[in-house]
């Protein structure tokens, strides 16, 4: 058998020395994982949840939350635990989390701000994970099992002047992450399991009962549902979603009311494969596109470290030298994209304190094309030359990393760990058309023939 590779084109997808991101300017002593952002359109402020530590190692050390008002950041009063969620409902700002005090006043897990002062809005026995306004109704989800002493697991709705439980989940474990409505039904995601039932992690409310989003939710012993987003009439869910457990997608999949499916050619890890245990952390719809962030390295086999966009047809990169740092949150505030980076992040060579902002004139928009495989690009600085028998020669400068061969369905069929050698060999490469993904993020199309 003889292998003939037709090299049609190659382009670098990395941004080079371009500056895409800068530090957002928060002054804080220590930062852990950043939770979701909330843009309060009523007062045009950006709120950030997560682990923000002021007075690190001092007697007045406390967790707080930062607020961006125009171009100025401020810090909240001390909290007795993390803030995890904000929502504005009927011109009142609500906050939930793991806290048991605000500014020294006892408030258990949920509060609302009235006349500039935080006050309790119910006694929850455990953390409030999310407030969400759906069809002009305020919902709360969390790790709680009682509200004001009455049984209520995981989901409630504000009715009149108090909380009303939305049926009983009867889950054996329940750590909800997000709630939305799709096709007239409430949908709840998180780490949710049920004794004696195989379904888990994503359920919908139908005729007064919680049932799986079909047929069994998210598969896998090590799995969990994350953020939800309805986009182009389909329901998207991110999270810890393993492909080898039988799920439709890796870290991200979509539901059309009948079946789960992969999003285009899907997401890939830093090797170009789907073997790593990584998550999609946040989903955001802006300017007609779905923004996705998390721990992935490729989107639709295009190099897109940690953040990418999907328009219903193709994946595109946002760009920037993000490296190994997971992006945990996104928000557009005053037409600027902000991302949560967490502790000790470095983007485009610059240290970041928790949050970065996009400063380039536009996104890089290297895209996958309108098919389920990566687009063909034009070669400039590196290429590989076939030598026959599965052997290849590298011409030009190529960084160390994984060279991945992908078939027309987006499946990885062969990989090679490249470490600077001039000639390498790929054993057992199948015949047919496939893509080659290089460590610098470039792609080429090849044809293996007998």
Dist CA 371 CA 407 (whole Å): 12
DSSP state of 179: E
pLDDT surpassing 70 at residue 87: yes
User: What pLDDT is attached to residue 382?
Assistant: 66
User: What pLDDT is attached to residue 375?
Assistant: 34
Give me the residue label for tokens 């929850």. 124
Dist CA 376 CA 29 (whole Å): 46
Dist CA 199 CA 366 (whole Å): 38
What 3-state DSSP class applies to 392? strand
**Chain segment 308-328, per-residue pLDDT in tens:** 999 999 999 998 888 788 999
Question: What is the band of 7 on the pLDDT scale with cuts at 50, 70, 90?
Answer: very low
Contact 193, 179 (CB under 8 A): no
Dist CA 204 CA 257 (whole Å): 11
User: What pLDDT is attached to residue 14?
Assistant: 34
Q: In the Cβ-directed half-sphere of 212, how many Cα atoms lie within 13 Å? A: 18
pLDDT surpassing 90 at residue 39: yes
Question: What is the band of 2 on the pLDDT scale with cuts at 50, 70, 90?
Answer: very low
**Chain segment 192-228, per-residue pLDDT in tens:** 999 887 779 999 999 999 999 988 899 998 999 999 9
Q: CA angle, corner 242, sides to 249 and 295, nearest 5?
A: 85
Sign, Cα dihedral of 326, 329, 334, 337: positive
**Chain segment 45-61, per-residue pLDDT in tens:** 999 999 999 999 999 99
- Domains and their CATH numbers in the chain: 1-18+373-450 (2.60.40)
Contact 171, 197 (CB under 8 A): no
Strands 30-40 and 45-54: antiparallel
Q: What is the mean pLDDT of the chain?
A: 87
Q: Is the peptide bond before 215 cis (omega within 30 degrees of 0)?
A: yes
pLDDT surpassing 70 at residue 1: no
DSSP state of 367: B
List the one residue out of 347, 289, 353 whose CA is nearest residue 315: 289
Q: What are phi and psi of 244, to 5 degrees?
A: -75, -5
Greater pLDDT, 82 or 384: 82
What 3-state DSSP class applies to 231? strand
pLDDT surpassing 80 at residue 450: no
Give me the residue label for tokens 């897990």. 109
What are the Cα distances from residue 215, in Å, to 155, 198, 237, 255, 336?
Answer: 22, 10, 15, 11, 39
pTM: 0.80
């Amino acid at each position: 058998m003889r292998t003939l590779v037709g090299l049609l084109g190659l382009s670098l997808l990395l941004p080079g020395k371009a500056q895409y991101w800068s530090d957002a300017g928060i002054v804080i002593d220590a930062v852990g994982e950043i939770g979701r952002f909330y843009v309060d359109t009523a007062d045009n402020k950006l709120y950030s949840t997560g682990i923000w530590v002021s007075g690190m190692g001092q007697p007045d050390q406390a967790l707080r939350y930062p607020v961006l008002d125009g171009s100025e950041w401020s810090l909240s009063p001390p909290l007795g635990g993390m803030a995890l969620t904000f929502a504005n409902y009927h011109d009142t700002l609500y906050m939930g989390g793991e806290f048991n005090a605000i500014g020294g006043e006892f408030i258990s897990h949920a509060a609302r701000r009235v006349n500039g002062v935080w006050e309790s809005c119910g006694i929850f026995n455990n953390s409030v994970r999310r407030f969400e306004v759906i069809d002009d109704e305020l919902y709360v989800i969390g790790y709680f099992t009682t509200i004001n002493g009455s049984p209520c697991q995981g989901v409630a709705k504000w009715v009149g002047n108090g909380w009303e439980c939305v049926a009983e989940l009867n889950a054996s474990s329940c750590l909800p992450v997000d709630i939305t409505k799709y096709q007239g039904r409430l949908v709840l995601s998180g780490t949710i399991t049920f004794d004696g039932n195989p379904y888990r992690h994503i359920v919908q409310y139908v005729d007064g009962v919680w049932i799986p989003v079909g047929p069994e939710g998210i598969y896998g012993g090590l799995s969990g549902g994350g953020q939800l987003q309805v986009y182009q009439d389909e329901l998207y869910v991110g999270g810890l979603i393993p492909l080898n457990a039988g799920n439709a997608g890796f870290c991200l999949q979509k539901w059309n009311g009948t079946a789960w499916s992969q999003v285009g050619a899907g997401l890939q890890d830093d090797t170009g494969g789907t073997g790593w245990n990584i998550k999609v952390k946040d989903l955001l719809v802006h300017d007609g596109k779905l923004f996705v962030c998390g721990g992935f390295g490729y989107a639709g086999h295009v190099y897109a470290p940690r953040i990418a966009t999907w328009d219903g047809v193709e994946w595109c990169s946002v760009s920037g030298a993000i490296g190994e740092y997971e992006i945990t949150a996104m928000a557009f505030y005053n037409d600027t994209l902000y991302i949560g980076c967490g502790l000790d992040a470095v983007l485009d060579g610059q240290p970041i304190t928790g949050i970065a902002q996009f400063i380039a004139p536009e996104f890089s928009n290297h895209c996958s094309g309108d098919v389920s495989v990566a687009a063909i690009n034009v070669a400039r600085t590196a290429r590989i030359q076939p030598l026959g028998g599965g052997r290849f020669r590298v011409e030009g400068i190529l960084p160390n990393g994984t060279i991945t061969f992908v078939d027309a369905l987006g499946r990885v069929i062969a990989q090679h760990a490249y470490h600077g050698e001039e000639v390498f060999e790929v054993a057992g490469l199948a015949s047919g058309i496939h893509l080659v993904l290089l460590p610098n993020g470039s792609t080429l199309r090849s044809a293996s023939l007998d």
